[in-house]
Amino acid sequence: MSLAEIQNTISNLSDHERGTLAAWLLESLPPHQPEDATVEGIKEAARRRDELDSGKARPLTADEFWTAIQRDRAAWK
């Protein structure tokens, strides 16, 4: 079964069922490891913070975020 097929099937579940599945998926991931915070990753996070602080990049509003999520969900079907 492809990821697209799984996403399509999951999109038909109730909110509660999707939430339960999401919680299970998160719990199934391995725990965070200190080596996950690589020098490159820390530099990238600092660069992005600096872009936000300087105004070069702007954060999404909550409405923009949820609109993008809804657009992505619609693409699953």
Q: Give the pair of three-digit tokens for residue 54.
A: 């300087």
In the prediction, which pLDDT does 10 show?
93
Q: Is the pTM of this model over 0.75?
A: no
Rounded Cα distance, 52 and 54, in Å = 6
- 29-54 pLDDT, tens digit per residue, is 988 777 667 888 889 999 999 999 99
In the predicted model, is pLDDT for residue 2 greater than 70?
Answer: yes
CB 10 within 8 A of CB 21: yes
Domain total in the chain: 1
Q: Mean pLDDT for the chain?
A: 90
> Six-digit token pair at 8?
């399509």
Domain that holds residue 23: 3-76
Structure tokens at 47: 């660069």
> What is the distance between the alpha carbons of residues 69 and 59, in angstroms, rounded to a whole number?
15
